[in-house]
Structure 1
């Protein structure tokens, strides 16, 4: 196995140990480190900062510098410039709502795990053909929910693929998703809402993380 594939496999193995990935939208880069610290206080050492806002690049850089122990993910990576920014920042992994082969190959060429988004059998097969063993099922709720993924599990589960459902996943339904062997983790934006971040309500965020991890342990 090449050193590149070894590094990607190592990060994949680390993510497979973490059943919940917080999906975070940050409007003020100054909130990034306190937010990440609130997640860590709750027992969660992984974060996905979406590239939806102008503050995202600096937010990622701030977390990378202040909290190197955090598994730092960049989400909503949909442009070439965003992909380059992620690699320059040194993120641990990247994610996207869709599957762009060029983005997958760019991350792979830079020794960094990438998790593309899929919604159909054809997209799953394209992801597998690119060597992606972990795929983001998005938008999970609108794309047919648990029943849809259960049906997809029949042909693709034996191939070793794992899914991270995101979109419509919450504390009330997370166990339905995590009960499926094909699901390695769920992505959740409820763990730290934009309003809670704006209010700097770090204590509530820490408590929500604890509740999510406690429920995940029941799966």
Structure 2
């Protein structure tokens, strides 16, 4: 199978249009079309970008017969392994972040002090540092997608108490008597609005 056929096959397998692939590689759609029909071949740097975009080794793209005999099985296996290498830190760090939130909740209802609640926040920050360290270690282009997934989930876990205490601090300047239920309601609305906006922005950036 020629390199152009492989590019077309991988592009369709990843549900990418020629326009989207061209944008990702920094070339024109016509260039992608010419590669796929065999009128031209990509430069070496573009082959490297293609291998990263499709999660396949460059050898698969460059050599006609070297990997064709084990084609889909090799690609599927390598792709799965690479994705697991990135997904595991996401799952692990998110789990630690959830534990941090539970620690903060338990600390709040037990002692109700900022200091004790911050212990859980420190655990969550540690989870973020761990995730970023593992993501950098993997150094995969796909890790950007997992990074967005990680933060779009974890901001909901990390922000509750920072929003709560920020809101409580702001309300200290309110000169009139307040009801606890109203305070909690406005805190919840602020939290949901803030997380919703950030999540929306992240999803827009992904498209």
TM-score range, shorter chain: under 0.3
Relative contact order (alpha carbons < 8 A, sep ≥ 6): 1 or 2 greater? 1
Greater strand fraction, Structure 1 or Structure 2: 1
Q: TM-score, normalised by structure 1?
A: 0.24
Q: TM-score, normalised by structure 2?
A: 0.25
Greater helix fraction, Structure 1 or Structure 2: 2
